[in-house]
Structure 1
Amino acid sequence: MADLMKAADGKAEAPPGPAEKPAPRQRSVRVVVLALMIAMLLAMLDNLIVGTAMPTIVGDLGGLEHLSWVVTAYTLATAASTPIWGKLGDMYGRKGIFLTSIVIFLIGSVLSGMSQDMGQLIGFRAIQGLGAGGLMVGVMAIIGDLVPPRERGKYQGMMAGVMAIAMIGGPLVGGTITDHLGWRWSFYINLPLGAVALAMIVTVLHLPKRERTEAKVDYLGAGLLTVGITAIVLVTTWGGSEYDWNSAVIMELIAIGVAALAGFLFVETKAAEPIIPLHIFRNANFTLMSVVGFMAGFVMFGAVLYLPLFQQSVQGASATNSGLLLLPMLLAMMIVSLVAGRITTSSGRYKIFPIVGSILMVSGLFLLSTMDTDTTRFTSGIYMAVLGAGMGFLMQITMLVAQNSVEMKDMGVASSSTTLFRTLGSSFGVAIMGALFTGRVSDEMSARGGAGATMHGAQLDAASLAKLPVPVREAYEYAVASGTHIAFLVGASVGLVALVAALFVKEVPLRGAGPEKAAPVVDAV
């Protein structure tokens, strides 16, 4: 680790022998990053593929009343395990912990594909989510170990590209697999990708040796954090859908969550190896990036949920190609992320990006809030591109600045904390924007006398809408447009918080060599 730190600071003497030939090492880092991107794709594709297959799964296994738990179990396990995976990597070594998370994910995939009833599927999806929590954190932390922040911008476009591929290709792949191979292959498809990632990481990834820590895992802190995160996710998932916001169940979950998180904060001040060391939040940049990441997650996943709904319900687009509907946003996000990463690498400057990104994010959301029943697909595509450009400036820069704000020994918890805040932001975004959307659609349908389309009509596709009487269909289209208006307007307001946080970020020089220096040297183990 000391050698890596020296190399990152540009102070290490050139090692003798093989280190004098940097090209193979550069290629080695690129191959490792490719393997990491495959692992990242596993986690991101899964929910999108499975979501497309869910109607077929329910038809085969039954248990429609438990359908939401197939997604909730996965999300809960992923969110709750994220900070624990990050800390274990810091304590016991990144490579072994990351490989373990991949194996657990693949075991969960196989078991999910073999499920004989909905109860088994829910349980096996939780195992899968447990592994997925380690995949995302492992990718970010290993890149943080291998590549100095100054050089890391080169790979931001790749990360954004993986996200775009997953969001566009997930529903298409899921539909194709389900139609031609059966729904079980929507889980088995993870095996060849996972095998390739495992083989490449085992053979190519070489990280500096770590001394095994003598401190014990903070089990009490991990337990309290898991309970707190579980309560938060359940509140945002169930509130306004399964239960009223003021129901006893939601109130009890809120109380449990607050008590668990308060206990967690107290325990972390006493633990020898806290799951999330609170001292990392003393760094203003890290805290500010956590806020920006939370807000970006809030906006991103709310937009991904309601943009296709608007285009299907109001603009008559086909649900089959729902991933393609987001293409303007995702392409803009990928291109801008790549450009921002290159500029960061060449100049070492980054403060302008979260500021510009927040401004574009707020602008894009405001433009999307102006959409109505007369808005064309071309116009909505331009608005989505503005939002995507804003997200491109934000999504990877938040991780980059957060990792640059902590010591190398805390790389894992920094990566996991940033990922956790983004995940929790997405949960709150979907819940709050969903509650506002549902309420507005219900009010507008009642006001316009469209009782023929119930609130379940919020899920009507273009084919179903065509079968409705013209007055009811027009009322529903107006109601959906009105619902997206309020949802995106609130999203724009949330984006202003990210802009304020971005304004206070200090441009601390990024660790590592500039573009004129050689690629980082990695000590083989």
Structure 2
Amino acid sequence: MSTSTVYDVKTTIEEIGTIPSQSRVEIEVLQDGEERENRAGSGDEEGDEHNKETASPGEPTLQQPNHLHGIRLVFVFVGMVLAVFLVALDQTLLSVAQTAIATDLKALTDISWVITSFFCTQAAFMLVYGQLLTLWPSKWLFLSAVVLFEVGSLISAVAPLMDVLIFGRALSGVGAAGIFICCLTILAETTSIRQRPMLFGILGATFALSSVIGPLIGGALTDSIGWRWCFYINLPVGGVTVIAIVFLLRATPPLGKQHGARATTWLEKICSIDIIGAALSLAFTICLILPLQWANVTYPWNSPKIIGLFCTALAILIVFIGWQWFLKEKALVPLHLFGNKTVVGSSVVTFFCFWNLLVFTYYIPYFYENVRGKSSAMSGVALLPMMIALVAMTMGGGFIITMTGHYWPWMVAAPFFLAVGSGLMYMVRYDSHNSFVIGAQILVGLGVGPLLQTPIIATQATSDVRNIAKCTSIVSYLQRLGGALGVGVASAIFDTELQLQLAHRAPAVDAHAVQQNATVLLDLPAGPARDGALAAYTYTLNYIYIMGAPTAFFVLLAVVFFVSHKSLKSRSRS
């Protein structure tokens, strides 16, 4: 039988982060000598990650964070970092292997589905996992997500046909969604709000860095031992994650679960899942992403199929919102969660953050490859100034937020760097000095980095403990959606503006040939036609880069008017 003792703690120094003084911690000393912290947290009008005050005798108590410390926390976190690394790597690893896959499987027309299937299921199932995490322990959901990701990778690696490969990629996307949402939820369950910014910063830096080195690793594997090893590589790394989580993470009830309540059966839990909402969200995501993938590649923008898919997505969204309103608390996305202004503001911030991250990550290499004549590998290297600045701000910002307890100033300052960096990228010309381009890239990285994980921190810090998983899944879903829409809008601008610019600056150059293979620009003989064509291509990219300025303005408005300006120090006191 366990015994409980209540201690007044003046100052507690944790292995990672600091718990403010005057903390009152209830430590339950178990028979096996382990100690478990059950903290009662502070709240505000928007809700907090803990209850506003400790429940009085006779009142129901809710499941609170169960903090990890020392070597257990380190190994569990390393396991999660490896899992996030694989997910981010998987999104870009195949960008240079598609030709080899299409040739080997003899299915060139279906190659776009290899990436599209992964992205669609990953985005849509983030909302599903947000609801599942309110029903089952995060440990088992995380392990099941890793298993799904690994099984999908294995199916993709051995796929004899393109249809089998696409199925494997879709299954991996489901697992990837669970991995990302479960990581963020597990950190909410096992660390204090003061520790989380630094840990989230490491996760964000891992995501950004692996997205850049993905094409380099994918190209090396494809050229040396074959494209199938782009999937085989996931298996041993995923095994390390499973071992760390199985042996070092204790399974606990979902955050906010009422203690003493009647235990629900598996059948009751399954019946409480918003299956219709999940199907609608998946259908909406597919109908929105497919036309963005197909436009001006498979079909023109004014094609009835493209327009029809966009109209269908809008209709599904209206039905989805109506269904969520009807279900209220049992919905996949309870609409009352948007009553927390910080959730709304964080969603806008993360939407445009990922919008800019993917747009600049995709289109800066276009400049280096097609204007400066660099190889794909060297274009990835040329992107490093932006990514190093981004990683430095993500990790450094997380560390400083952990020390100071303030996230809001970082979110306010970041849009100014993004706007200036975007403006300078707009001023880049085909003959601009490398130092000018690098400086502009660094400013963009300084603007995007602080916004990569800070919205999640703000959301978790201002959400009721019972809603942390769902609010986290909403913000993460909109993050992925912002990336997809950003790339889609950039593609539309690129295709339209390139024709106009070439017609104006290099009318003798075949615009269609340039759109199909931009390397023909560098094959042109030196002279006015070549200079005009390179200038036209660069001006087209300028119109894409400048999108960062208005989106930075929207981010600033969202932070100033919606994101709560609260100190994490007060939130970590009990």
TM-score by length of 1: 0.91
Q: Distance in 1 between matches of 2:507 and 2:26?
A: 75
1:250-329 equivalent positions in 2, closer than 5 A: 250-271=306-327, 272-329=329-386
Q: Distance in 2 between matches of 1:250 and 1:58?
A: 24
Question: CA contact under 8 A between 2:415 and 2:555: conserved in structure 1?
Answer: yes
Give the 3-state SS of the residue equivalent to 2:455 in structure 1. helix
* Aligned equivalent of 2:96, options 42, 48, 52: 52
Which shifted more, 154-163 or 488-497?
A: 154-163
Q: Distance in 1 between matches of 2:569 and 2:250?
A: 21
Question: CA shift at 1:378, angstroms?
Answer: 2.2
User: 1:485 aligns to what?
Assistant: 542
* Aligned equivalent of 1:235, options 268, 288, 291: 291
Q: Distance in 1 between matches of 2:247 and 2:415?
A: 41
Q: Distance in 1 between matches of 2:513 and 2:165?
A: 25
Q: Distance in 2 between matches of 1:89 and 1:187?
A: 28
User: 2:564 aligns to what?
Assistant: 506
Structure number with bigger Rg: 2
Which shifted more, 366-375 or 250-259?
A: 250-259
User: 1:34 aligns to what?
Assistant: 78
Give the 3-state SS of the residue equivalent to 1:243 in structure 2. coil
* Aligned equivalent of 1:199, options 243, 261, 285: 243
* Aligned equivalent of 1:384, options 441, 451, 459: 441
Q: Using a 3 Å threshold, how does the CA distance of structure 1 residues 512 and 121 change in structure 2: closer, same or farther? A: farther
Q: Distance in 2 between matches of 1:33 and 1:163?
A: 14
Question: CA shift at 1:423, angstroms?
Answer: 0.7
1:352-363 equivalent positions in 2, closer than 5 A: 352-363=409-420
* Aligned equivalent of 2:422, options 356, 365, 381: 365
Q: Distance in 2 between matches of 1:441 and 1:371?
A: 16
CA RMSD of aligned residues (A): 2.6
User: 2:51 aligns to what?
Assistant: none
User: 2:456 aligns to what?
Assistant: 399
String of CA shifts for 1:131-179, please: whole Å, max 9, x gaps.
Answer: 1111211111211222222221221331233124313321121111112
User: 2:207 aligns to what?
Assistant: 163
Q: Distance in 1 between matches of 2:522 and 2:537?
A: 15
Q: Distance in 2 between matches of 1:98 and 1:355?
A: 33
Q: Using a 3 Å threshold, how does the CA distance of structure 1 residues 117 and 111 change in structure 2: closer, same or farther? A: same
Question: CA shift at 1:510, angstroms?
Answer: 2.6
1:10-25 equivalent positions in 2, closer than 5 A: 10-16=23-29, 17-19=33-35, 25=69
Structure 2 stretches lacking a partner, 5+ long? 13-18, 38-65, 258-262
Give the 3-state SS of the residue equivalent to 1:445 in structure 2. helix
String of CA shifts for 1:316-341, please: whole Å, max 9, x gaps.
Answer: 22212332222111111111122221
Give the 3-state SS of the residue equivalent to 2:69 in structure 1. helix
1:425-464 equivalent positions in 2, closer than 5 A: 425-449=482-506, 452-455=509-512, 457-458=514-515, 460=517
User: 2:167 aligns to what?
Assistant: 123
Q: Distance in 2 between matches of 1:295 and 1:23?
A: 33
Structure 1 stretches lacking a partner, 5+ long? 521-525
Q: Using a 3 Å threshold, how does the CA distance of structure 1 residues 15 and 455 change in structure 2: closer, same or farther? A: farther
Give the 3-state SS of the residue equivalent to 1:13 in structure 2. strand
Question: CA contact under 8 A between 2:208 and 2:391: conserved in structure 1?
Answer: yes
1:80-159 equivalent positions in 2, closer than 5 A: 80-159=124-203
String of CA shifts for 1:187-212, please: whole Å, max 9, x gaps.
Answer: 11110111111111111122423466
Q: Using a 3 Å threshold, how does the CA distance of structure 1 residues 373 and 89 change in structure 2: closer, same or farther? A: same
Question: CA contact under 8 A between 2:506 and 2:533: conserved in structure 1?
Answer: no
Question: CA shift at 1:283, angstroms?
Answer: 0.5
Q: Using a 3 Å threshold, how does the CA distance of structure 1 residues 449 and 327 change in structure 2: closer, same or farther? A: closer
Which shifted more, 235-244 or 326-335?
A: 235-244
String of CA shifts for 1:453-479, please: whole Å, max 9, x gaps.
Answer: 4445346476x5443333554333212
Question: CA shift at 1:483, angstroms?
Answer: 0.9
Give the 3-state SS of the residue equivalent to 2:35 in structure 1. helix
Percent of paired sites with the same residue = 27
Q: Distance in 2 between matches of 1:293 and 1:160?
A: 12
Question: CA contact under 8 A between 2:201 and 2:394: conserved in structure 1?
Answer: yes
String of CA shifts for 1:482-506, please: whole Å, max 9, x gaps.
Answer: 1111111223212211111111222
User: 1:177 aligns to what?
Assistant: 221
Q: Using a 3 Å threshold, how does the CA distance of structure 1 residues 502 and 456 change in structure 2: closer, same or farther? A: farther
Q: Distance in 1 between matches of 2:170 and 2:426?
A: 36
Which shifted more, 46-55 or 191-200?
A: 46-55
* Aligned equivalent of 1:225, options 270, 281, 286: 281
Asked which structure has the greater RCO (Cα within 8 Å, sep 6+), the reply is 1
Q: Distance in 1 between matches of 2:130 and 2:453?
A: 18
* Aligned equivalent of 1:186, options 211, 225, 230: 230
Question: CA contact under 8 A between 1:148 and 1:512: conserved in structure 2?
Answer: no
Q: Distance in 1 between matches of 2:176 and 2:68?
A: 31
Q: Using a 3 Å threshold, how does the CA distance of structure 1 residues 69 and 475 change in structure 2: closer, same or farther? A: farther
String of CA shifts for 1:27-62, please: whole Å, max 9, x gaps.
Answer: 211221111010101110012211121121122112
Question: CA contact under 8 A between 1:358 and 1:496: conserved in structure 2?
Answer: yes
TM-score by length of 2: 0.83
Q: Distance in 1 between matches of 2:570 and 2:146?
A: 29
